Structure 1
Amino acid sequence: MNDVFAPAQLGPVRLRNRVIKAATFEGRTPDALVTDDLIDFHRAVAAGGVGMTTLAYCAVAPEGRTQREQLWMRPEALPGLRLLTEAVHAEGAAISAQIGHAGPVANEKSTRLRALAPSQMFSPLSMRPVRSAGIGDIRGIIAAHAQAARIAVEAGFDAVELHFGHNYFVSSFLSRRLNRRRDEYGGSLANRARLSREIAEAVRVAVGDSIAVLAKLSMNDGVPGGFWLDEAIQVAKWLDVDGHLDALELTAGSSLLNPMYLFKGDAPIAEFAAAMPQPVRFGIRLGGRAFLKTYPYHDLYLLEQARQIRSAVTMPLVLLGGITDRASMDTAMAEGFEFVAMARALLREPDLINRLKDEPTTPSLCIHCNKCMPTIFTRTRCVLEGSTT
């Protein structure tokens, strides 16, 4: 069994341990550029002991942002990105940039740019119609991923993580519910998976072996008629055989239609409503429980599905979901996963990894209230930060 706190190889990158800070949109880029606040956020978790932290979310194109304040990869962002990677490296950790295109999850009312989806649809986020991406749009987005990856290399990142989850652009193509195309990117699973495979190839060609390339793949989106585990297993097999990725991080849920399917635990409806302008605030208060469903939390809540992927592929896998203590980490290692990813627990305690290394029985203070989720619209944080209970 791998030791979670021993050094590990991720493609061409040597990590000091097998713990990755999962991508969590930080809400600290008001001008879509790196800020000192963003640097301090990642410096804290790097100093706290993770092997690698992940910058989230870096759009590959301006219309690929979920909201206007979100960082997007362009030459203007390079100076700040270099300061960020240097700060993380100074603390002994590696850093990855999560890159992707939001597709139908983009709020075009905020970005002021047209959102894109595999097929025409109505967005419950922007309350506007979303147009179907043309072949030219698709080709442009593939090229934008490659260019974003090249910028990541120039900025000093150790890895890029391709966002293939949560019904963002690539994930929406995988969904039978959202993808009703009749061309080479729709219909059969092979066609719906074409985009993910082409992006992985384009990014690998762009970066070579200079950095690691991961992908965050949904095992299912928690939406009736959407993408489910049986199809995810096959897509994972294709990505494995293609050989362009160094690891897959396994996730679930739909930011577009069922966000709580990933997070589990309490659904903070009142807090989400308070973070929204009218009339969205009124709508969430009135019907929020239909969108923000409650799913019981338990440790390692994605493990049962992730085992199915583990048994089907040989590439390294990153287990996410309900990993807050040493026992969960050791279970993941015993199940054959090479890395673990944590998010909410590190919002509460950025130094949790160092303390777990020193004292394996250290409990996490995260109570899975999910009240951190609405803070992404202002400044992502644990609302209980500093509390001991």
Structure 2
Amino acid sequence: MTAFPNLFSHFRIGSLNIRNRIVMSPMETHLCNAEGFVTKELINYYRERALGGAGYITVENTAVDPAGRVNDGMMCIYNDTFIPELKNLVDAVHAVEGKIVLQLSHAGREALPYFTGTGTVAPSAIPSPLTKEMPKELTIDEIKAIINAFACGAERALKAGFDGVEIHMAHGYLVNQFFSAESNTRTDDYGGDTSRRARFGREIVEEIRKKVPADYPVICRISADEYTETGLKLEESKEIAKILERAGASAIHVSACNYASAFFNIPCYYLEEGCFIHLAEGIKAIVNMPVLSVGRIQDPAMAEEVLKENKADLIVLGRSLIADPCWPNKVKEGNLDDIQVCLSCNRCIESISDKKLICTVNPYIGKDERFHLQQTTKPKKVLIVGGGPAGMSAAITLAGRGHDVSLWEKSGELGGNLRYASMPPKKEPVKKYLRYITKQVEKNNIPVALNKEANEDNIKQFAADVVVLAMGAKDVPVEINGMQENGALTVKQAFSSPDTIGNNVAIIGGAAEGCELADFLSSRGKKVSVIEMRRVLGLGLVAHPRFHVCERLRKQRATLIVNAKVTEIGSDYIVISRRRQPDEKIEGFDTIVIPTLHQHNTELEPMLQSFVPEVYTIGDAKEGRTALEAIAEGVEIGLKI
């Protein structure tokens, strides 16, 4: 019996019979082709998540109008030519006993005119907070045409075999723009009070109802709170929800935010898990239709509690199912240690801006090798040198395919740079992932030798068929006048010994690791100054966490200096140089932290090639890597050997 009886109970929305309460969120993938047609990669992606046990899949926002495409990665359903490929997607999901719902969308003023070739439209001529483009105010006839486009989109979804549709009425897209007084200042029947601003969304539901069976699921996704000063708040969204219910909506999916509050829209690790649950709870209290809750719900126990306390009827997972499509099955079977943890780093969100979806911890997006790893017919003795993310992911993949794998790590613990990445505040997801991946090394019975540094002699004695060098980069301190004689620390040294650091700290270099170290030390009561030679702090982080870490540093009253280069380090001072300004000496520091360059570490490879049949260098040892690149490279070599 499952430990989560509510989460794995059956549920129904109209004609849609759902095997559990887990719904996959509609998240853009850019896996369709440039014209918006379904591809094999897209089918693989959704099929794997259906196989993974989700109650139903919600396919990403799909354009009902070519002028409403937000970019060339947005799927389309604006004419009948899209139906055959959409049917292939539906059939693939149904073939593995999955259920699938299509989200219908129009971006309104958030569409990109350089891509669509037409100007943007909106309820009112108010610029997009993101693109700053001035949209054209829709006429009544144009409004009616878009309402009809949504209805025709739903009819096509029905013909393609989808089990239901979801109307995208959230996140600053066109329907949300009509709902909100912040973006809708019309004075006709589609603007004014809440009821009139809700008319556009209401009429979309009513028109869809005319084209689909009475019990066909029509789900509405709303932003119950836009998290802006003049935008929608929960109380007004309750009114809108009741209007949509009376119009014929089957269920309501409660999200939050718009483009002006985008740093909160897809909550990264700086925001609390379950941060939008209270909004779903508020809507559920006043409607009789099912309510879906979303917003960084990663812990199965939290999902179970939401259902048990009747705060929502269904739990929507987005990035957790990108990271691990089998999250539902693993939870149901009690294999919680085997869940590949989402880092909430939002690399996935960054990736779809101009290319296909990728994930830091899951390099198999759009492929299906993950769940059907081919066993090797020629097992080899493989030595992995280095227990960081590249080395561990290579070891796990190789062992999973049947190779005889051993792993050596020169330090006393596994993890490499992930250990330091897990130390700053709010980085619990990285800690969880580190526990996960080390557990997988253990579960695959991979012998691990800690405190063992590899050299030519002991590798020769080991007599491996294959050696994978993943021992990380050489960290070389950036040369600054006075750094050696005045005892400057590196970032890793500062992370490793925070209690020995003085109270007034200068951190030279305000990229990702510098800002995270500053947050780490500030949270311990240190007075921190960050000096960055570029004009932006936190480079190397995705925009969402970069915004939040900078806000945290400001609230902690850290001194943040940009466009400044440190030219000299003294015993308790630094000298900074700014363009067109005289040099400035800043005194009173107890500790000064300097950045390091991550240089390749490939010296062993040519030595080994004379007696090891196959030698590969991966990860930071080959070239500076992000965690995403290191994990992917480890898996890639694991599939190759």
Q: Scaled by the length of structure 2, what TM-score is found?
A: 0.54
Query: Are the aligned partners of 1:153 and 1:210 in contact in 2 as well (CA < 8 Å)?
Result: no
Distance 1:352 1:21 in 2: 11
Q: Is the partner of 1:258 in helix, strand or coil? A: helix
User: 1:241: Cα distance to partner?
Assistant: 3.0
Among 357, 363, 379, which residue is 1:380 paired with? 357
Distance 1:27 1:62 in 2: 16
Residue of structure 1 in register with 2:314 after alignment: 339
Among 325, 331, 334, which residue is 1:350 paired with? 325
Distance 2:9 2:64 in 1: 33
Distance 2:284 2:318 in 1: 22
User: 1:68: Cα distance to partner?
Assistant: 3.2
Distance 1:2 1:235, change over 3 A: farther
Residue of structure 1 in register with 2:30 after alignment: 27
Where do residues 187-226 of structure 1 align in structure 2 (5 Å cutoff)? 187-209=192-214, 211-226=216-231
Distance 1:168 1:340 in 2: 23
User: 1:124: Cα distance to partner?
Assistant: 4.4
Distance 1:203 1:148, change over 3 A: same
User: 1:105: Cα distance to partner?
Assistant: 1.2
Identity %: 30
Among 43, 56, 61, which residue is 1:57 paired with? 61
Distance 2:357 2:27 in 1: 8
Q: Is the partner of 2:43 in helix, strand or coil? A: helix
How large is the Cα RMSD of the aligned pairs?
1.7
Distance 1:21 1:69 in 2: 19
Residue of structure 2 in register with 1:367 after alignment: 343
Residue of structure 2 in register with 1:88 after alignment: 93
Distance 1:68 1:21 in 2: 22
Distance 1:125 1:300 in 2: 26
Q: Is the partner of 1:63 in helix, strand or coil? A: helix
Structure 1 window deviating more from structure 2 (81-90 vs 358-367): it is 358-367
**Which structure: larger Rg?**
2
Residue of structure 1 in register with 2:184 after alignment: 179
User: 1:125: Cα distance to partner?
Assistant: 3.9
Distance 2:335 2:229 in 1: 40
Distance 1:245 1:360, change over 3 A: farther
Where do residues 49-198 of structure 1 align in structure 2 (5 Å cutoff)? 49-73=53-77, 74-198=79-203
Distance 2:239 2:48 in 1: 38
Query: Are the aligned partners of 2:130 and 2:260 in contact in 1 as well (CA < 8 Å)?
Result: no
Query: Are the aligned partners of 1:109 and 1:126 in contact in 2 as well (CA < 8 Å)?
Result: no
User: 1:220: Cα distance to partner?
Assistant: 1.2
Distance 2:115 2:5 in 1: 45
Residue of structure 1 in register with 2:297 after alignment: 323
Unmatched 5+ stretches in structure 1? 267-295
Query: Is residue 313 from structure 1 mapped to residue 282 from structure 2 by the alignment?
Result: no
Q: Is the partner of 2:261 in helix, strand or coil? A: coil
Equivalences, count: 358
Distance 1:2 1:175, change over 3 A: farther
User: 1:324: Cα distance to partner?
Assistant: 1.5
Query: Are the aligned partners of 1:326 and 1:360 in contact in 2 as well (CA < 8 Å)?
Result: no
Residue of structure 1 in register with 2:18 after alignment: 15
Structure 1 window deviating more from structure 2 (122-131 vs 346-355): it is 122-131
Deviations 1:113-151 (A, max 9, x none): 221111112234444321111111100010011100000
Q: 1:348 is matched by which residue type in structure 2?
A: A
Distance 2:239 2:284 in 1: 12
Deviations 1:300-335 (A, max 9, x none): 111122221111111110111121132022112113
User: 1:360: Cα distance to partner?
Assistant: 6.2
Q: Scaled by the length of structure 1, what TM-score is found?
A: 0.88
Deviations 1:65-94 (A, max 9, x none): 111342221211111101000000111110
Distance 1:344 1:186 in 2: 35
User: 1:359: Cα distance to partner?
Assistant: 0.7
Distance 1:68 1:162, change over 3 A: same
Q: Is the partner of 1:222 in helix, strand or coil? A: coil
Deviations 1:16-61 (A, max 9, x none): 1111100000111122110001101101100111011111111111
Distance 1:88 1:257 in 2: 35
Q: 2:317 is matched by which residue type in structure 1?
A: M
Distance 2:219 2:344 in 1: 27
Distance 1:385 1:173 in 2: 37
Query: Are the aligned partners of 1:15 and 1:93 in contact in 2 as well (CA < 8 Å)?
Result: no
Distance 1:248 1:196 in 2: 13
Distance 2:300 2:127 in 1: 43
Query: Are the aligned partners of 1:325 and 1:356 in contact in 2 as well (CA < 8 Å)?
Result: no
User: 1:265: Cα distance to partner?
Assistant: 2.0
Distance 1:115 1:27, change over 3 A: same
Where do residues 292-303 of structure 1 align in structure 2 (5 Å cutoff)? 296-303=270-277
Query: Are the aligned partners of 1:324 and 1:345 in contact in 2 as well (CA < 8 Å)?
Result: yes
Query: Are the aligned partners of 2:330 and 2:336 in contact in 1 as well (CA < 8 Å)?
Result: no
